[in-house]
Structure 1
Amino acid sequence: MNSFSATLARSESLRSDVSARPHRYRILTGERPTGPLHLGHYFGTVAERVRLHNLGVDTVIVLADYQVITDRDAIGAVRRNVYGAVLDYLAAGIDPNKATIFTHSSVPALNQLLLPFLSLVTEAELHRKPTVKAELAASGRALSGLLLTYPVHQAADILFCKGNLVPVGKDNLPHIELTRTIARRFNERYGDVFPEPQALLTASPEVPGLDGRKMSKSYGNAIGLSMTADETAAAIRRTPTDSQRTITFDPEKRPGVSALLTTAALCSGIDEDRLAAGIGAAGAGALKKLTTDAVNDFLAPHRLLRAELASAPDYVREVLRDGNFRANEIAARTLGEVHAAMGTEYL
Structure 2
Amino acid sequence: MTAPSTSVLAPTPSSTGPSSAPSSTAPSSAETTTASAAAAQARSAQIEAAIAHDPSGFRVLTGDRPTGALHLGHLMATLDSRVRLQDAGVEVVLVVADYQVITDRDDAGNLPAVVRDVVLDYLAAGIDPERSTVFTHSAVPALNQLLLPFLSLVTVAELERNPTVKAEAVAAERRQGRGMSGLLFTYPVHQAADILFCHGNLVPVGPDQLPHLETTRTVARRFNQRYAAAAPYFPEPEALLTPSLTVLGDDGAKMSKSRGNALELRATEDETVRYFRRARTDSERHITFDPDRRPEVANLLRIGAHFAGTTPDALAESVGAAGAGRLKAVVTDAVVEGLRPLRARRRALAADGHAVVADVLARGTMRANEVADRTLADVHELMGTMYP
Name the TM-score, length of structure 1 as normaliser: 0.93
Cα distance between partner residues in 1 of 2:44 and 2:281 = 39
Asked whether the equivalents of residues 43 and 204 of structure 1 are also in contact (C-alpha less than 8 Å), the reply is no
Q: Secondary structure at 1:193's aligned position in 2?
A: coil
Q: Matches of residues 30-45 of structure 1 in structure 2 within 5 Å? A: 30-45=63-78
1:92 match: 125
Q: Matches of residues 103-142 of structure 1 in structure 2 within 5 Å? A: 103-138=136-171, 140-141=174-175, 142=179
Q: Which of 76, 88, 92 does residue 55 from structure 1 map onto?
A: 88
Asked whether the equivalents of residues 45 and 204 of structure 1 are also in contact (C-alpha less than 8 Å), the reply is no
Give the residue type in structure 2 aligned to 1:297: E
Cα distance between partner residues in 2 of 1:254 and 1:184 = 44
Q: Tell me the percent identity.
A: 59
2:298 match: 258
Q: Which of 221, 244, 250 does residue 184 from structure 1 map onto?
A: 221
Cα distance between partner residues in 1 of 2:291 and 2:98 = 35
Query: Which has the higher mean CA deviation after the structures are superposed, 319-328 or 8-17?
Result: 8-17
| CA RMSD in angstroms, aligned pairs only | 1.9
Q: Matches of residues 263-342 of structure 1 in structure 2 within 5 Å? A: 263-313=303-353, 314-342=355-383
Asked whether the equivalents of residues 110 and 160 of structure 1 are also in contact (C-alpha less than 8 Å), the reply is yes
Asked whether the equivalents of residues 223 and 235 of structure 1 are also in contact (C-alpha less than 8 Å), the reply is yes
Asked whether the equivalents of residues 120 and 182 of structure 1 are also in contact (C-alpha less than 8 Å), the reply is yes
Cα distance between partner residues in 2 of 1:250 and 1:4 = 23
1:14 match: 47
Asked whether the equivalents of residues 129 and 360 of structure 2 are also in contact (C-alpha less than 8 Å), the reply is yes
Q: Which of 222, 241, 253 does residue 281 from structure 2 map onto?
A: 241
Query: Which has the higher mean CA deviation after the structures are superposed, 165-174 or 217-226?
Result: 217-226
How far the C-alpha of 1:296 sits from its partner, in A, is 0.6
Asked whether the equivalents of residues 69 and 121 of structure 2 are also in contact (C-alpha less than 8 Å), the reply is no
Give the residue type in structure 1 aligned to 2:39: A
Asked whether the equivalents of residues 55 and 90 of structure 2 are also in contact (C-alpha less than 8 Å), the reply is yes
Question: Could you list the per-position Cα deviations for residues 83-138 of structure 1 after superposition, in whole angstroms to 9, with x for gaps in the alignment?
Answer: 11111211122110121100011111110001000011001111111122234445
How far the C-alpha of 1:229 sits from its partner, in A, is 0.9
Q: Secondary structure at 1:60's aligned position in 2?
A: strand
Question: Could you list the per-position Cα deviations for residues 284-327 of structure 1 after superposition, in whole angstroms to 9, with x for gaps in the alignment?
Answer: 33222212111111111111111111112212211011111111
Q: Secondary structure at 2:112's aligned position in 1?
A: helix
2:186 match: 149
Question: Could you list the per-position Cα deviations for residues 226-259 of structure 1 after superposition, in whole angstroms to 9, with x for gaps in the alignment?
Answer: 1111111111122233444443444444443333
Question: Could you list the per-position Cα deviations for residues 139-179 of structure 1 after superposition, in whole angstroms to 9, with x for gaps in the alignment?
Answer: 54422211110100100000011111111111221121111
Cα distance between partner residues in 2 of 1:17 and 1:252 = 35
Asked whether the equivalents of residues 289 and 301 of structure 2 are also in contact (C-alpha less than 8 Å), the reply is yes
Give the residue type in structure 1 aligned to 2:193: A
Q: Secondary structure at 2:257's aligned position in 1?
A: coil
Asked whether the equivalents of residues 211 and 259 of structure 1 are also in contact (C-alpha less than 8 Å), the reply is no
Cα distance between partner residues in 2 of 1:118 and 1:79 = 29
Cα distance between partner residues in 1 of 2:293 and 2:119 = 38
Name the TM-score, length of structure 2 as normaliser: 0.84
Cα distance between partner residues in 1 of 2:356 and 2:328 = 37
1:4 match: 37
1:70 match: 103
Question: Could you list the per-position Cα deviations for residues 39-70 of structure 1 after superposition, in whole angstroms to 9, with x for gaps in the alignment?
Answer: 21111111111111111111110011100111
Q: Secondary structure at 1:28's aligned position in 2?
A: strand
1:211 match: 251
- In structure 2, relative to structure 1, the CA distance for the partners of 1:144 and 1:230 (3 Å cut) is same
Give the residue type in structure 2 aligned to 1:325: M
Please say if 1:200 is aligned against 2:240.
Answer: yes
Give the residue type in structure 2 aligned to 1:333: R
- In structure 2, relative to structure 1, the CA distance for the partners of 1:186 and 1:121 (3 Å cut) is same
- In structure 2, relative to structure 1, the CA distance for the partners of 1:309 and 1:346 (3 Å cut) is same
Q: Which of 12, 15, 24 does residue 57 from structure 2 map onto?
A: 24
Cα distance between partner residues in 1 of 2:155 and 2:67 = 29
Query: Which has the higher mean CA deviation after the structures are superposed, 38-47 or 233-242?
Result: 233-242
In structure 2, stretches of 5+ residues that fail to align are 1-31
